[in-house]
Structures are given as C-alpha cells and as structure tokens.
C-alpha cells in the first residue's frame, strides 16, 4: 500500500489554490487522480516558464507517471482531448487512465445548463454553463451516457432520444430537437470517443493495483467543500460531492487507504455565482483585493466575489473532511491591507452557516505589506522562521482557532514560492 496516499481538498468555495498545491506536492507521488466534477473546475498551474489552465485532469499531471480520471467525474470529451494533448507535450511519458464509467457531457448538456438557468429566474445559481448539472441529472435519472458508450452511435442515439423526450420543452427549437442536429452531435462525439478509446479502462481496479504495487497516490478534489451538493450551501452548490470522502464513490478507492487529508484554505475568501457569503467585502476594498489577487474565474472569466476569512466555515469544512493539516495560500495578496479581518463567529454559537452578515464577530490583524523579491527569497530559503511577524501572528491565530497546523504556506503563484513543514515534501 502507498505509505503516503493523500488527498488535497478545498475548504472554501473553490479557487483556494489547490492547483498550485497539488502541482507542488505531485513530485512525491506516482499517481494523481480526480474523483468528481468536470470542466466547471479550473486550476491554474504556473511552472517556471509556463502557465497551464486545467479543468479535467489533475493539476499534478505535469510530473506524475499516471493520471487518473475517476468514475465520479462528468467529462466533456472535447476538453479532455485537448488537455491530454497539452500535458503529453510537457510530460511525454505520462500514462492517462480514464474511467469507462465516467459520465459524458455533450454539447446538448451545455445548452441545457443555460436553458435551466433561464427557467430558474431569480433562483439562478450562476453556474459555469459547462453542462455539469444536466449531465449529473441524467446520471441520477439513469439515462446518462458513459464514456464507454461513445464507441456506439446506436447506444448514444438511443439515450439522447430519451433525454430529449424528458427535456423536450427546454430543447425544442434547438438543433438537437432535429434529427440532423442530433446525428451531427453524435458523430462528433463518436469521433472524439475513438480518439479517447485507448485511455479508457476500469480505473477503480487500476487504482487498487497501483496501491497494491506500493505506488503513492495523490487525489485532488474539484471545487470546494462549501460547494458540495449535500454539505455545501444548497442550492448554491455544484452537482457533485466535493468532500474528501467522495473518493470512495467517485474513484472506487477506499477512503481508509488515504493517509493524509490536506485542506487548502485561501488567506481570504472568494466565490463565483449566487448565494450566501457572510464575510463578503464590497466596494473599493473588494476591487483592490480582486485586482491584486487577479480574482477572475479560471473557467468563466467572471469577477469573483471576495471576502474575509471565515473561521466558522473553515471549522465546518475541516470537520467534514477530517483534515489532518492545512495549506494556506495567497498570503502575499492579503498582506497589502493595513487592517485585515477574520470572522470568528456569528453571534450564535449554534449557527453553522450565517444566513446574514448582521452579527459577525471579527478579530483584526495588521497587514504584513507587499512581499518583495528579497523577502520572498528569504522566506523560501529559511522557511517559517522568515515569515513577517504580522503574518506569523495571523497563522498562529488560525491554527489555534481550528486546532490544525498550517504546514504549507504559499507566498506566490510560482511552484517554488512555497514553504512546507509537513512529511509530504513536494518537489
Ligand atoms: P456548476 O458547477 O457549473 O453547476 O455551478 C454551480 C456553482 O458552483 C456556481 O456558483 C459556480 O460558480 C460554482 N463553481 C463550480 N465550480 C467551481 C470552481 O471550481 N470554483 C469556483 N466556483 C465553482
């Protein structure tokens, strides 16, 4: 069994910087795997000379020997084809394993995503329009198309006709309601399926074999804990389980074989789409943070809502994932403020999520300023001891409040701008 099998999971609304942490750690692992979500996720990985944006494959794909996409994912075959091309260009010998049971996102699902949002009106979720919700709807309606079925024009057409009959109202007047339009989509999907066929396999069994062979496995959760379909802030959530425990169902790999649960938390918070955000900052302060942190969606380009770190929500996410230790990101961005706030409570200790921002309890900290190149060099050379005093105080306060160590701190977007005092060492 892999001695250090680990999972990296986001503890907020997504965009915590998981991509950077997974890429940084991936050098210590043989296999990187994803178990939920689809191209609604977006991970940015900055190597020394290039910036990669991944949606489907793990952010650790640039250095891993094996890249796995689990059965719990919803896969757009066109995007997967492109991502495989891009990682193989960089990581020539990588082996890709795509679950034959993962569900397919078709162009029709993308269109349905937009149509469903229109129908929702004021209940709009603000989805990424990547077709993820509709693809998972079909999965649970047991009419979904699985990756393996891309090989059969007949099977696909039959399923799509059922989906059309069920959702005809939303699709009427679109090209998919006509035989010509449907046939053309099916032949496009079939062609993509032929290209992807060599990568399809029983990934649950593969992962088990890798583990039995002593390979080290790193799982990457898509999105963030607060977007989990069951435990997030429903209905403003995504359509999959984003918590670490979903590895068991989304990859067919027992969660008991995972040694480390690493939770990624951004030094402040951000959110795309609608829904409750108790610690949201508005106005010019928000604009400043958004600009400094380049807080625009990786998938949609939408400006992200931003807010102060919420320790109530962080404690909730830590409990759900049973996090062992934390990776704190974006401290370089947050430091620019003279006064930094952290929310510690909502006035009512029984309240898990605050429905409003009326009774927020704050703790204030002084900023640590911009980290210039000399300071960054000092930090990467000397580690935690070289962190600015105000930042060390901020870290200490979070650790005490959540009862977990922050073992990894990211001080910039590049791979090397990371300090680490955990046993999982990174590159
Ligand atoms: P969907 O996943 O596209 O259906 O969108 C549902 C909600 O989750 C929307 O508010 C999206 O903005 C949000 N969302 C989905 N994936 C991510 C992500 O990776 N980062 C941040 N927000 C996300």
Residue 85 has pLDDT above 70, yes or no: yes
Task: Provide the pLDDT for residue 299.
Answer: 75
Q: Give me the mean pLDDT over the 53-67 stretch.
A: 94
Q: Give me the mean pLDDT over the 333-341 stretch.
A: 95
Residue 44 has a CB neighbour count (10 Å cut-off) of 17
Determine what percent of the chain is predicted with pLDDT higher than 90.
86
Low-confidence winner among 41-50, 177-186, 282-291, 413-422 (lowest mean pLDDT): 41-50
Task: Provide the pLDDT for residue 357.
Answer: 60
Q: Which atom of ligand 1 is nearest to the CA of 129?
A: 3
Q: Is the peptide bond before 235 cis (omega within 30 degrees of 0)?
A: yes
Pocket test for ligand 1, best of 73, 130, 272 (most atoms within 8 A of CB): 272
Q: Summarize pLDDT for 361-379 with one digit per residue, the tens.
A: 999 999 999 999 999 999 9
- Mean confidence (pLDDT) of the chain: 94
Is the CB of residue 232 below 6 angstroms from any atom belonging to ligand 1? no
Q: Summarize pLDDT for 236-289 with one digit per residue, the tens.
A: 999 999 999 999 999 999 999 999 999 999 999 999 988 989 899 999 999 999
Report residue 282 CA to chain centroid gap: 25
Q: Give me the mean pLDDT over the 20-43 stretch.
A: 94
Determine what percent of the chain is predicted with pLDDT higher than 70.
98
Contact (CB, 8 A) for 272 and 305: yes
Enter the pTM of the model: 0.95
Structural domains of the chain sorted by starting position, each given as residue range(s) with its CATH number in brackets: 6-102+198-257 (3.40.440.10), 104-196 (1.10.300.10), 265-420 (3.90.170.10)
Task: Provide the pLDDT for residue 97.
Answer: 98
Using CA positions, which residue lies closest to atom 1 of ligand 1? 127
Residue 427 has pLDDT above 70, yes or no: no
CA-wise closest residue to 30 among 89, 104, 93: 93
Pocket test for ligand 1, best of 10, 12, 14 (most atoms within 8 A of CB): 14
Q: What is the distance between the alpha carbons of residues 353 and 351, in angstroms, rounded to a whole number?
A: 6
Contact (CB, 8 A) for 56 and 73: yes
Is the CB of residue 270 below 6 angstroms from any atom belonging to ligand 1? no
Is the CB of residue 125 below 6 angstroms from any atom belonging to ligand 1? yes
Which residues contact residue 24 at a Cβ distance below 8 angstroms, ignoring those fewer than 6 apart?
A: 408, 410, 415, 418, 420, 426, 427
Report the catalytic residues. 15, 43
Contact (CB, 8 A) for 110 and 39: no
Q: What is the distance between the alpha carbons of residues 127 and 37, in angstroms, rounded to a whole number?
A: 13
Using CA positions, which residue lies closest to atom 2 of ligand 1? 238
CA-wise closest residue to 40 among 271, 222, 220: 222
17: left (phi over 0), alpha (psi -120 to 50) or beta: left
CA-wise closest residue to 51 among 10, 79, 16, 23: 23
């Amino acid at each position: 069994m892999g001695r250090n099998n680990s999972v990296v999971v986001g503890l907020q609304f997504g965009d915590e910087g998981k991509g950077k942490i997974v890429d940084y750690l991936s050098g210590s692992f043989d296999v990187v795997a994803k178990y939920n979500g689809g191209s609604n996720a977006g991970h940015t990985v900055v190597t020394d000379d290039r910036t990669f944006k991944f949606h489907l494959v793990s952010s650790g794909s640039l250095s891993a020997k094996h890249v796995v996409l689990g059965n719990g994912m919803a896969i757009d075959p066109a995007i997967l084809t492109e991502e495989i091309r891009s990682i193989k260009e960089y990581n020539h010998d990588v082996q890709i394993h795509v679950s034959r049971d993962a569900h397919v996102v078709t162009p029709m699902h993308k269109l349905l995503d937009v149509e469903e949002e229109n129908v929702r009106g004021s209940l709009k979720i603000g989805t990424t329009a990547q077709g993820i919700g509709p693809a998972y709807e079909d999965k649970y309606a047991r009419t979904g198309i699985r990756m393996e079925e891309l090989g059969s024009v007949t099977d696909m057409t039959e399923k799509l006709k059922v989906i059309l009959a069920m959702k005809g109202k939303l699709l009427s007047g679109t090209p998919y309601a006509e035989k010509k339009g449907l046939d053309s989509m099916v032949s496009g999907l079939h062609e993509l399926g032929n290209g992807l066929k060599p990568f399809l396999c029983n990934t649950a069994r593969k992962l088990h074999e890798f583990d039995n062979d002593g390979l080290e496995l790193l799982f990457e959760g898509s999105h963030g804990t607060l977007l989990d379909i069951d435990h997030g802030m429903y209905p403003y959530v995504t359509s999959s389980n984003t918590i670490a425990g979903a590895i068991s169902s989304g990859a067919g790999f027992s969660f008991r074989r995972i040694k480390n649960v690493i939770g990624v938390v951004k030094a402040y918070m951000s959110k795309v789409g609608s829904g409750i955000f108790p610690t949201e900052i508005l106005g010019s302060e928000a604009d400043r943070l958004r600009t400094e942190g380049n807080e625009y969606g990786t998938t949609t380009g939408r400006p992200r809502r931003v807010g102060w770190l919420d320790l109530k929500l962080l404690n909730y996410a830590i409990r759900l994932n049973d996090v062992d230790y934390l990776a704190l990101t974006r401290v370089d961005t947050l430091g620019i403020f003279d006064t930094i706030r952290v929310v510690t409570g909502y006035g009512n200790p029984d309240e898990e999520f605050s429905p409003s921002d009326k009774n927020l309890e704050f703790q204030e900290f002084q900023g640590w300023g911009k980290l210039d190149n000399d300071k960054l060099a000092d930090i990467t050379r000397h580690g935690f001891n070289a962190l600015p005093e105000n930042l060390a105080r901020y870290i200490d306060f979070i650790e005490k409040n959540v009862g977990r160590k922050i073992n990894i701190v990211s001080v910039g977007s590049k791979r090397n701008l990371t300090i680490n005092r955990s046993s999982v060492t990174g590159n």
